[in-house]
Amino acid sequence: MTKILVIDDEANILRLVRDYLEQAGYRVLTALNAETGLHVLRCETPDLLVLDLGLPDRDGWDLTRLIRFDRQLSDTPIIMLTARVDDSDRIIGLELGADDYITKPFNPREVVARVRAVLRRTNAVKLSPSKRISMGDLSLDLGEHTLTVRGVQVNLTPTEFELLSLFMENPGHTYTREELLEKTLGYSYEGTGRTLDSHVRNLRHKIEPDPLNPIYIETVHRIGYRFTKGGGGKNE
């Protein structure tokens, strides 16, 4: 059974989210603070984390940063759950490696929908056939879910991997923001333009020699993005 860990210091929120996720068929683990949550993460290795930003002992941003730099935990999909509604907070969370962001108050059915969407694209990546795409200094293994840049392995979040694999499998194709959101996030919601831009910005910092002058992910003005081969490439 797919395991979901929910970390939130409000017991009523935990109960609400747990009840709806359990009704959807998931096994749900809960924690009221970051340290307990981190212990559960390492012991239970859940398939996805729903994380509140405003925790009493360590904020969710700090915990997200720690997870993304931990080799054992770095692939864990993260959905942030928070009362902060400022766009800058959303962007910071995504830049730290969150896969999605839900603001309070929320409809618990929306949480279930977001969980399903993130797990769907994560599982699609895991089930990808063995195939390696090499372009310029990039080598993406769809089966092993790994990326090497100039010979060095680089960690990607599930959303970043899904986005990069879509780009590298279709070099030269211009995608609108709406297309990219539908193909990578699996649904649409308000504020997605900036959400997508944050994921693209993260990718550029991980793959581009100079993120401010990208050679792989090009911005197509008023339309979206296009991936170029950065000097050549091949599929194996």
What are the pLDDT digits (tens) for 72-111? 888 899 999 887 666 666 777 777 778 888 888 889 999 9
Mean of the per-residue pLDDT values of the chain: 85
In the numeric block, the tokens 């398939």 are attached to 47
Output the domain CATH number for residue 9. Answer: 3.40.50.2300
pLDDT in tens, 160-201: 888 999 999 999 999 988 888 877 766 554 445 677 888 899
Q: Domain ends where: 125, 141, 168? A: 125
The total domain count for the chain is 2
The amino acid occupying position 190 is E
- Residues 59 and 150 reside in one and the same domain: no
Quote the pLDDT of residue 30.
97
Last residue of a domain, one of 102, 125, 148: 125
Query: Does one domain contain both 139 and 114?
Result: no
Answer with the one of 125, 159, 177 that is the final residue of a domain.
Answer: 125
d(CA 179, CA 192): 11
CA dist 205 and 59 (Å) reads 24
Contact 183, 189 (CB under 8 A): no
If asked whether residues 34 and 65 sit together in one domain, one would say yes
106 forms beta bridges with none
pLDDT, tens only, 46-64: 999 999 988 989 888 889 9
Q: Is the pTM of this model over 0.85?
A: no
Residues 174 and 85 grouped into a single domain: no
Task: For 212-222, write each residue's pLDDT tens digit.
Answer: 999 999 999 88
Q: Which of 128-142, 204-218, 220-234 has the highest mean pLDDT?
A: 204-218
CA 199 to chain centre: 8
Give the model's confidence band at 68: pLDDT under 50 very low, under 70 low, under 90 confident, else very high: confident
The per-residue pLDDT for 183 is 78
Residues composing the chain: 236
The span from the CA of 188 to the CA of 170, in Å, is: 22
pLDDT at 162: 86
Give me the helices (H) in 127-176, please: 158-169
Helix H or strand E encompassing 51:
strand 48-52
